[in-house]
Amino acid sequence: MADVEFQKRILTLTTELVDALKGRYPGWGGLIQLNGTPERLAKMYDENCWSSEEIEKELSSQVRVFDDGYKGMVIIGPATVWSLCPHHLLPCEFRVTIGVVPSGKVLGASKFTRIATILGHRPIMQETYTTELANEVQTRLSPLGTAVYVVGSHSCMTSRGIKQPRDNQMTTCALQGCFKESQAAREEFMLSATRRNYSE
């Protein structure tokens, strides 16, 4: 997903950042370890933060629906999705479970995970991510309902600031259609989603 202008702009800034860090250790032999770091950092941002056009293009090319008469609940997950928190630009690990009740159309099994992964390619809060993922599945598949359950581990909480263990996690949930209206559908999904995440 090479975006030359973006890469150039980011490289200028990562070079500045690494130079500032180097300035803290004048004469230290370990500075050599930072060689090539501005380039690696710039590449990482390009890999992990796609443009809106790239996200839309990936969604349209990856997500195809098929006609099928299956009417039961489909639950898939948890998938692991990496994103960046918009406040600290540090990695967040999301464990994502998606549920749908189809209405005449189904998605290939891997495509749910594909959508979830694509939407993680921008700096985004877990709450926003959860809502956007539910909206995306609901819009593309038009099922009777969509449910998304996300368990997030945030590096900005584990590696800095309050420095919590990794198992201090955040859960978020977005419900649409039948999952919102029917307590039975909601309970069936939530039971499965929580078991999948907390079975060990």
Regarding 156 and contact with Zn ion (CB under 5 A), the answer is yes
Task: Return the residue nearest Zn ion (CB atom).
Answer: 156
Q: Which is nearer to Zn ion, 85 or 133 (CB)?
A: 85
**179: its two tokens:** 């999952």
In the complex, least distance from residue 87 CB atom to Zn ion, rounded to whole angstroms: 4
In the complex, least distance from residue 65 CB atom to Zn ion, rounded to whole angstroms: 35
Residue 153: alpha-carbon gap to chain centroid = 11
Residues 67-96 binding Zn ion (CB under 5 A) are 85, 87-88
| CA nearest to 138, candidates 168, 169, 179 | 179
Binding mask of the shown chain, residues 171 to 190, with x at each position contacting Zn ion by CB under 5 A: --------------------
Q: Which is nearer to Zn ion, 94 or 179 (CB)?
A: 94
Q: Which is nearer to Zn ion, 111 or 154 (CB)?
A: 154
With CB under 5 A as the contact rule, which of the stretches 33-41, 57-65, 96-104, 152-160 interacts with Zn ion? 152-160
In the complex, least distance from residue 10 CB atom to Zn ion, rounded to whole angstroms: 20
Q: Which is nearer to Zn ion, 95 or 114 (CB)?
A: 95
Q: What type of residue sits at position 127?
A: E
Regarding 124 and contact with Zn ion (CB under 5 A), the answer is no
Regarding 106 and contact with Zn ion (CB under 5 A), the answer is no
With CB under 5 A as the contact rule, which of the stretches 26-34, 67-75, 155-163, 166-174 interacts with Zn ion? 155-163
For Zn ion, the binding residues (CB under 5 A) are 85, 87-88, 156
